[in-house]
A and B are shown apart, each in its own frame.
Chain A
């Protein structure tokens, strides 16, 4: 990306693993006492603490516990408005009351990603007055804080910010495990307890307890336990089966029946026959098969629900990027902090530099630059002046602005994009739908078979008819079939989540294997997503002087230089920023000039000829060249740009080798996009694409008959992500865990994308194997039942064996294995 022929180029190794947690250290590493690079201060602190205590062996253990990977945190200045919100009385009142007058609140913490972060964040109670307890949920980056209402929560946020963790209030209603999920778990637990006890008794019956009072007592005991199992545990199946029956009846179409219908039929018939046998004292009881079946199915459902919740929370975090309170300028000119909902169109709102805009509006007074990266994907800040339109969710960079409110909340551009995203329901995988549809045919098949069996045994031996009919209905109850796909997909999703890949819908897993075109957005996917010092030439000391001067500027180019070089000790005087050109000043009395090469040429002297090729190659690569003059002589030049990720070329090449088209569709400046596309060898690339046009472009690709995987990292991609067959969102830095896509990748870089494709492949192979297995089991079972070979003992053996085989295969599936996903070793070799 930078000219290799140019003079000494200092690269910052952003992909090197953190010595503590193994994640990439990023472009601004924290350093441990021994001088090793860590991804965050949390890791550095723990690294030092462990080394000091002689506990280096911890690392062997930590490697085994793959940390749920998160993007590396960067130290950040706490946002004043967000802090103000934490101290607002309304906010504190909305917190859950705890006994003892304490309050409890959930906060999102950006930048937590390993065990060290857990340790550091949970030290809050010992470090901040008024905080009584802090518990971090690492997988979801959710911190639960118990605090004294008299204390200031903003102090806690400031303390966390010192370590690079940004805190954001979460919406009160979102997040904690839903009641439905907990109820289902309790239901499954109760079902297992009942099933276990019924099995205990069943063993006694099988091992010879045939006649006598004790056998009768055992049967009644089983019946007593089976009643709650069927009435309480199986209630969801009956409800859904009833709904599908009504649907099928109204549509006069038996294929509308889904898998819950045969499940319910099997349970009902098995229970009815067993209860009758218990009451009359004649015939077989099937209570054990039925109760185990119910418990196993409930467990599969719970796993499914849980993996889905973890994924949907990502979209909630997205909503948290727009502040919920704003500074309103009253008629008297006073500034008051109000909730965004209280704002009316035409109100005046002040936004200081460094804050995120809370509303869409027109600039009333002030001129500044704003960072629209979160909304449009444009990495370069854009200048705005009076009369300019600005959007909520963008960041005001350099000077205070006063806005006239044009739209608030849902009506803002970001609000509308998110509404469109949220509208998309959780889609079910075609293979799940197929299994459900098979259910319809399955019911028909079973009914036909039942009629055949009845006819056969009416002719052979009418006395045995009820027993064999029940055996057929119980053994063909599609336990394995109903469990196979959801369980395999749920397990795959759980594994994926551990590797930092959150899959929202089952459909996404299946669609991933059909992808024929990958659409990438440039910012943050192929590149680091922010301005970095890419290359430099000339005098190194001059560069440090420039950084010292630039520390006083607020330009992103200056920020990049300061980040890379640090601030020197010199005293800076006579600073003058020349808009659009650069900055001049004196460092320890020495005149320093930093700015556009053209401006420096005019103000100081022409640049040396040997820099020309370097400057030209930088411009070619889409970077911004900057010159430095010291004492009136050009001393150094450097380039600032959004650098391409190291592994990008590898992934693009691999996808092309697999026959997958790669497209680049970016909101960035067309020149930048063209240069990135040229570097990576992507033929189809378009720059300057609006969010709406992105969506249309994806739709156009789909019209060509391709399944599209859209990869994006911002709100600007949200609509396209939803339009695509599979949308993969990338979480990064403070832009937060983004977007309600089908996939949500917490690790930066491109390796997780390939892991997702490979993992989906393996998961679908497992699903097909399981479906074949369970269908085979049902066919064999049905044949045996028709032949009259199935006794309760056989059913009791066959049912758990088939279920266990399905569960075992689902758990042992090779998808998203930690070896291939490399959650401890982020390098994609």
Chain B
């Protein structure tokens, strides 16, 4: 049963990581609009334009 002394803090630590990630996602505005991304994935295309998409910064912060 001694393994519990490792596993329980480990579980807590994982939960903490999860909460931190969730908090970051909420602050980042990822839950502000939950409808459009679902449509975006249907249509997103390899950019054929002149600019590289990876150069675009994220605009979700506000």
Is the A/B pair a real complex? yes
Residue A47 interfacial (CB < 8 Å):
no
User: Could you tell me the distance in whole angstroms from the C-beta of A818 to the nearest C-beta in chain B?
Assistant: 14
CB–CB A193/B18 < 8 A = yes
Residue A67 interfacial (CB < 8 Å):
yes
Residue A190 interfacial (CB < 8 Å):
yes
CB–CB B26/A189 < 8 A = yes
- Report the Cα distance A666→B5, complex, angstroms: 75
Chain A: CB-nearest residue to B49: A126
Q: Pick the contact of B42: A65, A100, A186, A193 (CB < 8 A).
A: A65
User: Could you tell me the distance in whole angstroms from the C-beta of A198 to the nearest C-beta in chain B?
Assistant: 11
Residue A185 interfacial (CB < 8 Å):
yes
Residue A612 interfacial (CB < 8 Å):
no
Residue A817 interfacial (CB < 8 Å):
no
Residue A146 interfacial (CB < 8 Å):
yes
Residue A221 interfacial (CB < 8 Å):
yes
Chain B: CB-nearest residue to A175: B62
CB–CB A186/B59 < 8 A = no
Q: Mark A116-141, 1 if CB is under 8 A from B, else 0.
A: 10110011011100001111111110
Residue A182 interfacial (CB < 8 Å):
yes
User: Could you tell me the distance in whole angstroms from the C-beta of A359 to the nearest C-beta in chain B?
Assistant: 32
CB–CB A118/B39 < 8 A = yes
Q: Mark B32-62, 1 if CB is under 8 A from A, else 0.
A: 1101101110111101111101011111111
Q: Mark A178-196, 1 if CB is under 8 A from B, else 0.
A: 0000100110011001101
Q: 8 Å CB contacts to B: which residues of A59-116?
A: 61-62, 65, 67-68, 96, 98-100, 102, 104, 114-116
User: Could you tell me the distance in whole angstroms from the C-beta of A631 to the nearest C-beta in chain B?
Assistant: 52
- Report the Cα distance A138→B11, complex, angstroms: 39
Q: 8 Å CB contacts to A: which residues of B5-21?
A: 8, 11-12, 15, 18-19
Q: Given A115-B42, A125-B49: A221 and B8 within 8 A (CB)?
A: yes
CB–CB A186/B26 < 8 A = yes
- Report the Cα distance A134→B33, complex, angstroms: 14
- Which A residues lie within 8 Å of B43 (CB)? 46, 115-116, 118-119
CB–CB A190/B19 < 8 A = yes
CB–CB A139/B45 < 8 A = no
User: Could you tell me the distance in whole angstroms from the C-beta of A122 to the nearest C-beta in chain B?
Assistant: 7
Q: Given A123-B49, A146-B59, A197-B15: A177 and B31 within 8 A (CB)?
A: yes
User: Could you tell me the distance in whole angstroms from the C-beta of B2 to the nearest C-beta in chain A?
Assistant: 10
- Which B residues lie within 8 Å of A102 (CB)? 57
CB–CB A100/B32 < 8 A = no
CB–CB B36/A118 < 8 A = yes
CB–CB A189/B15 < 8 A = no
Chain B: CB-nearest residue to A46: B43
CB–CB A133/B57 < 8 A = yes
- Which A residues lie within 8 Å of B29 (CB)? 176-177
Chain B: CB-nearest residue to A126: B49
- Report the Cα distance A221→B4, complex, angstroms: 12
Q: Given A65-B38, A126-B50, A193-B18: A137 and B33 within 8 A (CB)?
A: yes
- Report the Cα distance A116→B36, complex, angstroms: 11
Q: Given A126-B47, A126-B49, A189-B26: A100 and B57 within 8 A (CB)?
A: yes
- Which A residues lie within 8 Å of B59 (CB)? 98, 104, 133-135, 144-146
User: Could you tell me the distance in whole angstroms from the C-beta of B12 to the nearest C-beta in chain A?
Assistant: 7
Residue A447 interfacial (CB < 8 Å):
no
Residue A794 interfacial (CB < 8 Å):
no
Q: Given A118-B40, A123-B49, A127-B49: A139 and B35 within 8 A (CB)?
A: yes
- B12, B19, B26, B29 — most chain A CB neighbours (10 Å): B26
Chain A: CB-nearest residue to B35: A139
Question: Between A and B, how many residue pairs show CB distances below 8 Å?
Answer: 111
Q: Given A126-B50, A137-B36, A139-B33: A176 and B62 within 8 A (CB)?
A: yes
CB–CB B57/A185 < 8 A = no
- A58, A104, A135, A190 — most chain B CB neighbours (10 Å): A135
- Which B residues lie within 8 Å of A185 (CB)? 26, 31
User: Could you tell me the distance in whole angstroms from the C-beta of B24 to the nearest C-beta in chain A?
Assistant: 10
Q: Given A102-B57, A126-B48, A139-B33: A58 and B26 within 8 A (CB)?
A: no
Chain B: CB-nearest residue to A204: B4
User: Could you tell me the distance in whole angstroms from the C-beta of A502 to the nearest C-beta in chain B?
Assistant: 13
- Report the Cα distance A190→B26, complex, angstroms: 12
- Report the Cα distance A67→B22, complex, angstroms: 27
- Report the Cα distance A227→B58, complex, angstroms: 37
User: Could you tell me the distance in whole angstroms from the C-beta of A214 to the nearest C-beta in chain B?
Assistant: 6
Q: Mark A142-180, 1 if CB is under 8 A from B, else 0.
A: 001110000000000000000000000000000011000
User: Could you tell me the distance in whole angstroms from the C-beta of A737 to the nearest C-beta in chain B?
Assistant: 16
Q: Given A137-B32, A139-B33, A193-B15: A65 and B51 within 8 A (CB)?
A: no
User: Could you tell me the distance in whole angstroms from the C-beta of A738 to the nearest C-beta in chain B?
Assistant: 21
CB–CB A138/B23 < 8 A = no
- Report the Cα distance A194→B51, complex, angstroms: 45
- Which A residues lie within 8 Å of B12 (CB)? 197
- Report the Cα distance A138→B40, complex, angstroms: 10
User: Could you tell me the distance in whole angstroms from the C-beta of B27 to the nearest C-beta in chain A?
Assistant: 7
- Report the Cα distance A65→B36, complex, angstroms: 11
Residue A200 interfacial (CB < 8 Å):
yes
- Report the Cα distance A65→B39, complex, angstroms: 8
- Which A residues lie within 8 Å of B39 (CB)? 65, 67, 114-115, 118, 138
CB–CB B42/A61 < 8 A = yes
- Which A residues lie within 8 Å of B18 (CB)? 193
- Report the Cα distance A193→B14, complex, angstroms: 10
- Which A residues lie within 8 Å of B60 (CB)? 135, 144
User: Could you tell me the distance in whole angstroms from the C-beta of A255 to the nearest C-beta in chain B?
Assistant: 37
- Which A residues lie within 8 Å of B51 (CB)? 125-126
- Report the Cα distance A415→B58, complex, angstroms: 36
Chain A: CB-nearest residue to B39: A115
User: Could you tell me the distance in whole angstroms from the C-beta of B6 to the nearest C-beta in chain A?
Assistant: 13
- Report the Cα distance A127→B51, complex, angstroms: 9
Q: Given A99-B57, A132-B55, A138-B36: A200 and B49 within 8 A (CB)?
A: no
- Which A residues lie within 8 Å of B35 (CB)? 68, 137-139, 498
User: Could you tell me the distance in whole angstroms from the C-beta of B45 to the nearest C-beta in chain A?
Assistant: 7
CB–CB B19/A200 < 8 A = no
User: Could you tell me the distance in whole angstroms from the C-beta of A749 to the nearest C-beta in chain B?
Assistant: 22
- Report the Cα distance A85→B60, complex, angstroms: 24
- Report the Cα distance A62→B40, complex, angstroms: 11
- Which B residues lie within 8 Å of A139 (CB)? 33, 35-36
User: Could you tell me the distance in whole angstroms from the C-beta of B38 to the nearest C-beta in chain A?
Assistant: 6
- Which A residues lie within 8 Å of B11 (CB)? 197, 200
User: Could you tell me the distance in whole angstroms from the C-beta of A325 to the nearest C-beta in chain B?
Assistant: 24
- Report the Cα distance A190→B19, complex, angstroms: 6
- Report the Cα distance A440→B8, complex, angstroms: 42
- Report the Cα distance A145→B58, complex, angstroms: 10
User: Could you tell me the distance in whole angstroms from the C-beta of A151 to the nearest C-beta in chain B?
Assistant: 13
- Report the Cα distance A146→B62, complex, angstroms: 11
User: Could you tell me the distance in whole angstroms from the C-beta of A18 to the nearest C-beta in chain B?
Assistant: 16
- Which B residues lie within 8 Å of A140 (CB)? 33
User: Could you tell me the distance in whole angstroms from the C-beta of B11 to the nearest C-beta in chain A?
Assistant: 7
- Report the Cα distance A133→B18, complex, angstroms: 29
User: Could you tell me the distance in whole angstroms from the C-beta of B35 to the nearest C-beta in chain A?
Assistant: 5
- Report the Cα distance A118→B23, complex, angstroms: 27
- Report the Cα distance A100→B48, complex, angstroms: 24
- Which A residues lie within 8 Å of B62 (CB)? 96, 104, 144, 176
- Which B residues lie within 8 Å of A135 (CB)? 36, 59-60
Knowing that A122-B40, A126-B50 touch, tell me 9 more A-B residue pairs with CB under 8 angstroms: A65-B38, A65-B39, A118-B36, A137-B32, A137-B36, A190-B19, A190-B23, A193-B15, A193-B22
**Interface pairs (26), CB distance under 8 Å:** A58-B42, A62-B42, A65-B39, A65-B42, A104-B61, A115-B40, A125-B49, A126-B48, A133-B56, A133-B57, A133-B58, A136-B36, A137-B32, A137-B36, A139-B35, A140-B33, A145-B59, A176-B62, A182-B31, A189-B23, A193-B15, A193-B19, A196-B15, A197-B11, A214-B1, A221-B8
7 interchain residue pairs of minimum CB distance: A126-B49, A119-B43, A115-B39, A133-B56, A137-B33, A177-B32, A138-B36
